[in-house]
Each structure stands twice: as structure tokens, then as C-alpha cells.
Amino acid sequence: MSYITENWYWIVAALGSGGALLWLQLKNGGGGGDLSAQDAVMLINREKATVLDVSDAAEFAAGHVRNARHVPLDQIAEGVKGLPANKQLPVVVIDATGARATKAVAKLKTLGYEKAQALRGGLRAWREANLPVDKAN
């Protein structure tokens, strides 16, 4: 107990820095994607990446990345229609905010899509970068 009372300032510093890191993570959309919108565009154009939208049907209809394939998060499984046949090509996973995309990337990696990456900030970040968005007809 004397260690805690004698070194209380180190404990406060550790808690403060942890809190600051948590605040930054939440401030940046909460969705922990690892790919910026500009990096996603480069993957799409240079490496023929597939864009996979894991939003629900209503969100996808309201707006999605042009030529994105729609496979809701709860439907990602082996052999499901919409997943790319070539598991060696990059896959950019997107949803409204980026939160579900991170979960989808984990599922895709277990299915063999090692180059799957979530778009940081989701469709919101895509729109903020002034990139084209389609709506369902």
C-alpha cells in the first residue's frame, strides 16, 4: 500500500495517457479502420481492389461507394455471393462509420482474404474526401 501512496503520480500519469488514447480513438469515428479514403482509392485503381459494403440494406440504398458489392456483416460466410473469388486481391471493407467494417475484416481474414482492410471512418470519411457515392434506384 505504501508503494501506491508514494508513487501516486505515476498511476495518475498512466491513467491520463490511457484516457487520452481512448479519447482519440473515439474522436476519430470509433471505427478502427486502418485505411484512409485516399489509400483506398489507390488500391481500387492500382491493384483492382474490390469494395465490399457491409452496411444493412437501408444504409446501402441511402448511399454507397460506386461499384461496391453489398454483403451485410451478418451474411459474411464461406461461399456467400458477393465475396470476391480471388482471395489474393485486396478488399476494401466499408460501412457507415467503420465500426462494422473492422469486424468484417476479421471474419474475412479467417476466410482467407488476407488483404482485407477496413476504411477508417467508413462512408462518412469517403464523403468528407469528396469521393463519389451512388444511391440505389
The predicted structure's pLDDT at residue 29:
47
Q: How far apart are alpha carbons 104 and 54 in whole angstroms?
A: 7
The predicted structure's pLDDT at residue 30:
46
Dihedral in degrees, nearest 10, Cα atoms 23, 59, 74, 91: -80
The predicted structure's pLDDT at residue 11:
86
Structure letter (DSSP) for residue 74: G
The predicted structure's pLDDT at residue 98:
87
Binned average pLDDT, 10 residues per bin, the chain of 137 residues: 82 84 59 81 95 94 94 86 91 92 93 94 94 84
Give the bridge partners for 119, in sequence order: 35
The predicted structure's pLDDT at residue 137:
60
